[in-house]
């Protein structure tokens, strides 16, 4: 079930560009909170992108976290912390990408609020009307 209060969205970046979605606070940095795998998933969704037509180009969506809610970095940026978590949406020759989604887990040692960093390769086409969303799904 989606939690309506835990929703993020941003339009896809232009070819060669990037976009950031911050911040979703799951309350995971509270003292005494169990640092186990979270009972839920982050669903990252994208619409059809008919301009992402090269199978050598893609959108890469990286999970980011923050210790202070201001400065965000990809998970796994510090050795010995969480793993790097990324979703790639590869281009599809001729017709482009169909709508889809990917559910990701939030690993132990994730710091504070989370966000997403989205990067498009240089020839990914103009997909700036594509709304990328992230929703917390309670289990």
Check residues 31 and 54 and name the one with the higher pLDDT. Answer: 54
Residue 119's nearest CA partner among 57, 72, 73 is 57
Q: Which domain holds residue 15?
A: 2-29+36-138
What would the two tokens of residue 131 be? Answer: 């709304």
Q: Is the pLDDT of residue 50 over 70?
A: yes
Domain of residue 131, CATH code: 2.60.120.1110
Whole-angstrom distance, CA of residue 56 vs CA of residue 89: 11
Q: Which of 20-34, 52-66, 76-90, 111-125 has the lowest mean pLDDT?
A: 20-34
Whole-angstrom distance, CA of residue 134 vs CA of residue 54: 25
Q: Is the pLDDT of residue 62 over 90?
A: yes
DSSP states along 35-88: -S--SEEEEEEE--BTT---TT-EEEEEEEE-SSSSS-EETT-STTSSPP-EEE
Domain count for the chain: 1
In sequence order, the 6+-apart residues with CB closer than 8 A to the CB of 27 are 33
């Amino acid at each position: 079930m989606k939690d309506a209060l835990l929703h993020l969205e941003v339009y896809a970046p232009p070819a060669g560009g990037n976009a950031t979605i911050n911040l979703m606070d799951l309350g995971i940095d509270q003292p005494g909170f169990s640092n186990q795998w979270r009972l839920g998933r982050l669903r990252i969704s994208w619409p059809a992108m008919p301009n992402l037509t090269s199978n050598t180009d893609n959108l890469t969506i990286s999970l980011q976290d923050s210790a202070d809610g201001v400065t965000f970095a990809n998970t796994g940026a510090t050795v010995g912390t969480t793993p790097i978590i990324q979703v790639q949406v590869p281009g599809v020759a001729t017709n482009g990408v169909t709508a889809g989604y990917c559910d990701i887990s939030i690993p132990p040692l994730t710091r504070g609020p989370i966000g997403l960093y989205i990067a498009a390769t240089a020839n990914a086409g103009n997909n700036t009307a594509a709304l990328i969303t992230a929703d917390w799904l309670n289990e």
